[in-house]
Amino acid sequence: MKITAVHTVLLTGPSTNDRFLREARTLRSAAFIEIHTDVGLVGLGETYAGYFCPEAIPAIVEFFVPILVGQTVDDIDELWRRMYHCGNFWCRVGLGTSVLNGIEAALWDLKGKQLNMPVYELLGGRKHEKLLAYATGGPSNYPLARLAEKTDYYLSLGFRGFKVAIGSYSPPAGWYTPETPDEAADFEGAKVEFLRRHCGKDVALMLDGHMGNSVGKTWTLDVALAAAKAVEPFDLFFFEEPLHYTDPWSYAKLREQSKVPIAGGECLTAMYEWRVFAERGAFDIAQPDASFIGGLNEFMRVAAQFDAIATHAWGAAGSLMQNVHCGFAAPNTRILEVAPDYAGLHADLLDGAFVMRDGYVLPPDRPGLGFRLTDEIKARYPFIRGSGEYNSVPGKVLNS
């Protein structure tokens, strides 16, 4: 079996069916990679970069196509090394590496289909019978009665845990982010205390600082530490990215001074960038994303550097399944992120391949990654330019 062609497919669809998340974000874009072969099998992968800057993806994929055409999937790591080395000046980390992630995932999907095996078996075998899932909650929808309604909704869907952001979101007022230590301690402490009282002690609660994608002022160490101290009594599963990723040194100091498990990593790509955080002891729980980090093999290499991991997955169906397979292959996976009540760019592509029961994800049993991309699906979700998500700044404001 030899590769004959490589294509990028850009799609735009509803961000989610979750009415609480939809208050803040109505659309999502996605970028998928198709690898065609001379025997008719097609490998599929997704790069999470397609959620942010989809227009940039096709040109980068096209750059790597000559390295792949005519090759087999016998040695995926070697094909990855060739692409990575070819783009050495510009894709050691960042966008280029994230696009490589989608290509490499499609190679694994293709190999799984060829061998009639789920991809996690190709990554070293399944290490878990099932894995706890948590609902991506996005913003903390306010007032508190609205937040309680939101959390009840996630629990009604079968989740045993959920994550909400720091600050609040309340249309039409919009986003609020506390900016001083006292303000952060008071606001986040009161919010998490309310959530713990409302949901009980058996629900896994997580708080997301969104500091790599902040809608307000990025926190400094003193603000993050004040918030972390305030939520210590309420048994958080983790506090995600309370600081910006340009400051691994403060991450390490925060972890040393806080009893709350500090998590992060969704914005990091390639072992080269991750090593800075691993060697400084920046995270209690690492959050690699198997649609952004650089590839499934790269995910496994990074996961091995930490005691515990929790997958990050806010892309579409390919992103979810890539993270599920890596999560089941990594022995130190604690929990999987799952988009609650997902819309068509999840549901239509998964076609029942993703199974969650009693709050736990079950290992996929279909060959490859287990998602599909038909001509009918492509026609149903035509790409809309400008549908990627980004941080608003003067001159470029996100409005969907």
Write out pLDDT tens, residues 189-246.
999 999 999 999 999 999 999 986 665 678 999 999 999 999 999 999 999 999 999 9
With a pLDDT cut of 90, the percent of the chain lying above it is 93
Question: Are residues 85 and 192 located together in one domain of the fold?
Answer: no
Contact 325, 369 (CB under 8 A): yes
Question: Are residues 50 and 139 located together in one domain of the fold?
Answer: no
Question: Which DSSP symbol is given to 232?
Answer: G
- Residue 387 in domain: no
- Residue 265 in domain: yes
Residue ranges making up the domain that contains 313: 122-361
- Residue 394 in domain: no
Question: Are residues 13 and 27 located together in one domain of the fold?
Answer: yes
Question: Are residues 193 and 97 located together in one domain of the fold?
Answer: no
Question: Are residues 271 and 286 located together in one domain of the fold?
Answer: yes
Question: Are residues 148 and 105 located together in one domain of the fold?
Answer: no
- How many structural domains is the chain composed of? 2
Question: Are residues 126 and 157 located together in one domain of the fold?
Answer: yes
- Residue 166 in domain: yes
Quick one: which of 376, 329, 311, 302 has its CA closest to 112? 329
Contact 103, 61 (CB under 8 A): yes
- Residue 45 in domain: yes
Question: Are residues 91 and 43 located together in one domain of the fold?
Answer: yes
Question: Are residues 138 and 97 located together in one domain of the fold?
Answer: no
Cis previous bond, 143, omega within 30: yes
What pLDDT is recorded for position 214?
A: 63
Average pLDDT of the chain is: 96
Q: Which of 18-22, 119-123, 215-219 has the lowest mean pLDDT?
A: 215-219
Coil vs helix vs strand at 184: helix
Question: Are residues 14 and 67 located together in one domain of the fold?
Answer: yes
Does the pLDDT at position 150 exceed 70? yes
Question: Are residues 174 and 196 located together in one domain of the fold?
Answer: yes
Q: 339 burial class (0-12, 13-18, 19+ CB within 10 angstroms)? A: buried
What pLDDT is recorded for position 194?
A: 98
Question: Are residues 76 and 207 located together in one domain of the fold?
Answer: no
- Residue 389 in domain: no
